[in-house]
């Protein structure tokens, strides 16, 4: 291996040396140096910002037009702090400085109606094509930039033009390389375009959770869409072995939501799986802690009040201290209220007490505070009492008197 490394080093050194000699001999190297020296420091900064936004915009437009061409409507286009969004009154533009935390862009589609397997499969394929379109645009833009740089360097006589194209090409190369690298990355909360494309093609759980998630941005909601996705979620949950991964958790959360706040009936197979879940596995992550509190509501709704109250006490003991304290306070107060233990109307009157998490990113499209309010309604009261036999008490009193 060491010998091969030396061979690689010698080959690379030869190529670099030969290329440099050829550039110097033909006068191209000096044209490049003169071009770079013709630019000011502010030019370098301005060209970086330009390169960043051109690269980012083209990437996001790849997603955007891939959706549009496939007849999927768009709700929003995010380009760092710049947002184009659509509501009932048409398209709008706004600037949100806080969105710098995104570090990039985002396209939010309006998936429309999904009422049967044909609709779902068609949407899944279109979604996958939209995911892969943006990397294709990014790679194409990188290649075009490099070709343009070579042509300008060889044929142009303007030092300033050569300098501009050279530094823009350098920035585009670095930014595109970074983008391409992120396409291959993923963790529990983020999936690069290459990874997401593959999972959208092959992973039914990923497909369902993503489509379920994006339906919240649809401008037209239908009961058939809700019913179809619930039944599909139910069928998937019945087939898989549940674990604490984010996608299993999201699926189960969607199922529980329809049981708790809707009129759907409990599935006995899923109910058995829910009862077998290990609580501790879900108390260390944000999506997990939401789920276990939903399980409290689920047990209360199904009239297993003792289980609901006991689980509530267990959650408070086992919740990881690494989780956001504001989130924990909010969920505890919410649970006291929803389970009719102790009404918290005063707490909910102050919007600062609400925990919206990352939902603020989409507050242009949906109001996170109003959305949360829908989940604060106490569940229908279920009596929880223990019978007391008066005769037994009297008998004990008589014995004590004797």
- Are 30 and 47 members of one domain? no
- Are 47 and 168 members of one domain? yes
Residues of the chain with pLDDT under 50: 395
- Are 69 and 19 members of one domain? no
- Are 3 and 112 members of one domain? no
Cα angle value 117/200/358 (rounded, 5°): 105
- Are 100 and 119 members of one domain? yes
User: What is the total count of domains within the chain?
Assistant: 3
Distance CA 240, CA 58 (A): 39
Q: Is residue 208 part of a domain?
A: no
Distance CA 186, CA 211 (A): 18
- Are 189 and 59 members of one domain? yes
Give whole-number Cα distances, 400 to 23, 291, 389, 391, 397, in Å.
110, 50, 17, 14, 5
Q: Is residue 207 part of a domain?
A: no
Residues 6+ apart with CB under 8 A from 287: 246, 249, 250, 253
Residue 337 contacts residue 343 (beta carbons within 8 Å): yes
pLDDT of residue 390: 55
Q: Is residue 189 part of a domain?
A: yes
Residue that terminates a domain, selected from 197, 232, 264: 197
- Are 49 and 188 members of one domain? yes
Q: Is residue 2 part of a domain?
A: yes
Sign of the Cα torsion 338, 342, 346, 347 reads negative
What pTM did the predictor assign? 0.86
Q: Is residue 204 part of a domain?
A: no
For residue 228, give the nearest of 113, 115, 119, 121 by alpha carbon: 115
Q: Is residue 221 part of a domain?
A: no
- Are 57 and 119 members of one domain? yes
The boundaries of the domain holding residue 8 are 1-37
Task: Please state the separation of Cα 196 from the chain's center in Å.
Answer: 11
- Are 44 and 178 members of one domain? yes
Task: Please state the separation of Cα 317 from the chain's center in Å.
Answer: 29
pLDDT of residue 48: 96
Q: Is residue 260 part of a domain?
A: yes
Residues 6+ apart with CB under 8 A from 59: 105, 134, 135, 137, 138, 179
Q: Is residue 82 part of a domain?
A: yes
pLDDT of residue 368: 93
Distance CA 167, CA 176 (A): 14
pLDDT of residue 400: 53
- Are 67 and 181 members of one domain? yes
- Are 134 and 252 members of one domain? no
- Are 129 and 269 members of one domain? no
């Amino acid at each position: 291996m060491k010998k091969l490394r030396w061979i690689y080093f010698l080959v690379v050194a030869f190529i670099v040396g030969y290329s440099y000699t050829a550039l110097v001999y033909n006068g191209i190297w000096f044209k490049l140096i003169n071009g770079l020296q013709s630019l000011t420091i502010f030019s370098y900064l301005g060209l970086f910002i330009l390169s960043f936004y051109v690269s980012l915009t083209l990437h996001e437009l790849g997603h955007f037009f891939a959706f549009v061409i496939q007849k999927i409507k768009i709700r929003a286009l995010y380009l760092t702090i710049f947002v184009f969004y659509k509501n009932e009154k048409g398209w709008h533009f706004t600037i949100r400085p806080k969105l710098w935390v995104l570090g990039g862009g985002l396209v939010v589609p309006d998936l429309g109606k999904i009422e049967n397997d044909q609709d779902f499969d068609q949407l899944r394929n279109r979604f996958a094509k939209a995911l892969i379109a943006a990397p294709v645009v990014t790679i194409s833009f990188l290649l075009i930039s490099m070709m343009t740089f070579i042509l300008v360097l060889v044929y142009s006589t303007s030092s300033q033009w050569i300098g501009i194209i050279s530094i823009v090409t350098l920035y585009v190369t670095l930014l595109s390389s970074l983008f391409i690298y992120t396409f291959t990355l993923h963790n529990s909360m983020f999936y690069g375009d290459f990874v997401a494309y593959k999972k959208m093609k092959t992973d039914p759980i990923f497909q369902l959770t993503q489509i379920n998630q994006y339906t919240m941005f649809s401008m037209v909601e239908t009961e058939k869409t809700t019913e179809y996705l619930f039944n599909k979620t139910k069928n998937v949950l019945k087939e898989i072995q549940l674990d604490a991964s984010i996608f299993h958790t999201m699926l189960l959360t969607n199922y529980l939501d329809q049981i708790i706040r809707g009129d759907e009936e409990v599935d006995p197979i899923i109910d058995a799986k829910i009862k077998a879940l290990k609580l501790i596995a879900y108390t260390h992550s944000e999506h997990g802690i939401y789920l276990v509190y939903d399980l409290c509501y689920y047990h209360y709704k199904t009239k297993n009040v003792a289980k609901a109250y006991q689980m509530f006490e267990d959650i408070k003991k086992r919740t990881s201290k690494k989780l956001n304290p504001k989130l924990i306070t909010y969920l505890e107060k919410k649970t006291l209220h929803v389970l009719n233990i102790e009404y918290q109307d005063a707490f909910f009157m102050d919007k600062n007490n609400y925990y919206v998490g990352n939902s603020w990113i989409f507050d242009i499209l949906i109001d996170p505070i109003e959305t949360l309010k829908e989940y604060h309604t106490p569940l229908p009261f279920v009596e929880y009492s223990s019978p007391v036999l008066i005769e037994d008490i009297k008998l004990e009193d008589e014995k004590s008197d004797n």
